[in-house]
């Protein structure tokens, strides 16, 4: 499969190497991959996303961006609850060229056509994530970055969020997705690759099966680890 992104020994620091942010990060993302970044305190995950997006230049190492278009979905947006704006109007702010029928079509792809005429301020956190993802998809990206998409979703709906990802993958099989999460249980079940960050260190990366067996993961992430059902891609590993 084509690699849309490659990082080789990427480092990032401030203050003329006095403040190290990220060290020796190496991984690749192939077309169609769902890649999850898991982290604990101080892991600078948002900085890594900004490096991938080209907002920050790497201090050392190499990064190859083989995608044509990238989309970014923030962790949260501030909405004035008194401002009456419909979902289709909100989406058109970021995608001025798109017509209403195309917006309906994209919402339908992830079973959310009912949101079309809703007021943005009336959405739940779960529904807002759907809208933000649809808005990003309309630009036809090769790679989409999701910065902690479940941070503002009730824990009951976290697993439902991954159903959205599954629906997106069915509709856009060549799309690569990088998302940030600290729910290691759901990450194992729903990712093709996992990247582990701890403080400024690149802990490890690999398939969920490979990462699960890594001793460093058990040491660093033990309190986040819970029993989980089989990984949907396990049959492809043999």
In angstroms, rounded to a whole number, what is the distance separating the alpha carbons of residues 211 and 69? Answer: 29
In angstroms, rounded to a whole number, what is the distance separating the alpha carbons of residues 145 and 180? Answer: 8
Directed axis angle between helix 155-171 and helix 100-109, to 10°? 110
Take residue 17 and report the two structure tokens written for it. Answer: 């190497």
Q: What stretches of 37-76 show up as alpha helix (H) in DSSP?
A: 45-53
Take residue 214 and report the two structure tokens written for it. Answer: 């890594």
Position 235 scores a pLDDT of 40
Position 68 scores a pLDDT of 92
Position 206 scores a pLDDT of 86
Write down all domains in the chain, each with its CATH number in brackets.
3-237 (3.40.50.300)
In angstroms, rounded to a whole number, what is the distance separating the alpha carbons of residues 112 and 129? Answer: 11
Q: Are 30 and 39 contacting, i.e. CB atoms less than 8 angstroms apart?
A: no
Position 70 scores a pLDDT of 96
Q: Please choose, from the candidates 28, 29, 11, the residue with its C-alpha nearest in 3D space to the C-alpha of residue 20.
A: 11
For each successive 10 residues of the chain (238 residues), what is the average pLDDT? 91 77 89 88 76 91 94 79 86 92 93 92 83 93 90 69 88 94 81 82 79 76 49 41
pTM assigned to the model = 0.84
Position 200 scores a pLDDT of 55
In angstroms, rounded to a whole number, what is the distance separating the alpha carbons of residues 46 and 168? Answer: 23
Take residue 161 and report the two structure tokens written for it. Answer: 């969020």
């Amino acid at each position: 499969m084509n690699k849309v992104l490659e990082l080789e020994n990427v480092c990032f620091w401030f203050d003329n190497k006095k403040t190290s942010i990220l060290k020796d990060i190496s991984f690749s993302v192939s077309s169609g991959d769902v890649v999850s970044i898991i982290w604990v305190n101080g892991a600078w995950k948002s900085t890594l996303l900004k490096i991938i997006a080209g907002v920050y230049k790497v201090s050392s190492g190499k990064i190859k961006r083989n995608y044509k278009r990238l989309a970014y979905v923030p962790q949260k947006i501030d909405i004035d609850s008194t401002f009456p704006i419909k979902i289709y109007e909100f989406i058109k702010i970021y995608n001025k060229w798109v017509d209403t029928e195309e917006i309906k079509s994209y919402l339908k792809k992830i079973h959310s056509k009912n949101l079309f005429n809703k007021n943005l301020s009336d959405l739940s956190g779960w529904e807002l994530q759907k809208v933000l993802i649809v808005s990003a998809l309309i630009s036809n990206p090769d790679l989409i970055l999701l910065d902690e998409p479940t941070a503002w979703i009730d824990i009951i709906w976290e697993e439902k969020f991954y159903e959205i990802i599954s629906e997106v993958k069915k509709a856009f099989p060549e799309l690569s997705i990088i998302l940030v999460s600290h729910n290691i249980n759901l990450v194992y079940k729903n990712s093709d690759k996992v990247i582990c960050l701890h403080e400024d260190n690149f802990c490890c990366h690999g398939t969920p099966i490979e990462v699960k067996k890594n001793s460093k993961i058990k040491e660093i992430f033990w309190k986040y680890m819970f029993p989980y059902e089989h990984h949907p891609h396990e049959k492809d590993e043999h």
